[in-house]
Structure 1
């Protein structure tokens, strides 16, 4: 039986760059098309193809588009050593259960209690006396070690966010950050408590008539095992869930988790 040759892993940045360029040719992707598919600026792709340093997030997104192994390419890009074991090459492990330093260098074991689904509540940005309720799922991403959040069951589904959790070791608050083509939305909330709740403030952009303006409002995450009794969408005073939801949001300010200065 004829053996199929196995392509050895890239061990240096030039080799990793060659793999990327080869995959682009095979998939017939231009720089602009790769940037669009990877959800980043074309200038970022130009920097990467020029061999300049780029974020791990960019490498991850590019690998997902091109079908390349992220872990191996990342280690080669950063110059990690390659060990030889029983005649086979393998990339040196970098502790894949720990998030990057700039995200807080937290381990999966230390943040496993965040994994789950949460009832998410905030005030509507445009409709008076209206609350917004949806579900947020938090999971561990083994490909790019860190906690990942995904918003679900939003009435305005096209505006649902997906991002990462940044957990500084010296703070009692954590950050839920989504970043798309330079546009950032940040949510700053308290670390999860015994009741499974996180409270704080969301800052983002909201469309008002013909333009977008910065907005901020208190936000609450309440962990739920099931959502049988919960209501999602725009919650008005006519809704049965309105009073309970409003009390949860108001407690975010009254209990000192957030302060709005006018």
Structure 2
């Protein structure tokens, strides 16, 4: 009998990717695996082999094996509730949001175009709250990661990146029946020279399993998935999940 199962390994691997803010392409390269092999294993379309797990553990510097069920019942996670400044949410109450999402936002470079990438949201046992990480971005050097705030007062979800006092925020409204979330992204865009300019745009989070063969990166009007992605993103403002005012 092996000391691991695929679902447990996949869950722990997604958590480590989020915690360490890794891109899947970078992890695959470090572990001497193809990106396709890593993606299929994470999605359950391919079994993890012991050799694959060992390579991933070496690349991560963390163990992916060991059944959670085998741990003593008297050793719960450090905290089952997020800090007060994140909304004091409990782990059981936010399990619904954990997972992988196709993230869509307006392109900053071409009017009407869509920019697509992957966002993973998981619970970090060591930190005692939800964390998120981005991957499959064309501008991989700008991939974001941070903590998730879910206060009861507004009912909104906030994905916050904080680096040396610099913040970037995604504010999402309540999930739809399809578990999709829409809202507004606020960040900094490179302007003239080294100037950084505040910018906001609508954003959409779609559970990745709802999209057959998702396409990431820049999606212009001539792209095959443009009409589908544009329709989804238009829901953010069309259904009043967010507003832009001048």
Could you tell me the TM-score, scaled by structure 2's length?
0.66
* 1:172-251 mapped onto 2 (5 Å cutoff): 172-210=155-193, 211-225=195-209, 228-251=212-235
**CA–CA distance in structure 1, aligned partners of residues 137 and 157 of structure 2:** 23
Q: Could you tell me which residue of structure 2 aligns to residue 105 of structure 1?
A: 88
Q: Could you tell me which residue of structure 1 aligns to residue 65 of structure 2?
A: none
**CA–CA distance in structure 1, aligned partners of residues 177 and 210 of structure 2:** 18
| SS of match in other structure, 2:235 | helix
**CA–CA distance in structure 2, aligned partners of residues 119 and 166 of structure 1:** 20
Q: Deviations over 1:159-197 (max 9, x none)?
A: 000011100112221111000111100111113232011
Q: How many residues align?
A: 171
Higher relative contact order (CA 8 A, sep 6+): 2
**CA–CA distance in structure 1, aligned partners of residues 210 and 184 of structure 2:** 25
Which of residues 75, 90, 98 in structure 2 aligns to 1:115?
98
Q: Deviations over 1:125-151 (max 9, x none)?
A: 122232100010000000011111100
Q: Could you tell me which residue of structure 2 aligns to residue 46 of structure 1?
A: none
Could you tell me the TM-score, scaled by structure 1's length?
0.62
**CA–CA distance in structure 1, aligned partners of residues 108 and 170 of structure 2:** 15
Q: Could you tell me which residue of structure 1 aligns to residue 242 of structure 2?
A: 258
**CA–CA distance in structure 2, aligned partners of residues 242 and 94 of structure 1:** 43
Is the 2:104–2:229 Cα contact (8 Å) retained in structure 1? yes
Which of residues 128, 131, 140 in structure 1 aligns to 2:123?
140
| SS of match in other structure, 1:240 | coil
Is the 2:204–2:233 Cα contact (8 Å) retained in structure 1? yes
Q: CA 1:110–1:202 in structure 2 vs 1: closer, same or farther (change >3 Å)?
A: same
More deviation, 190-199/131-140? 190-199
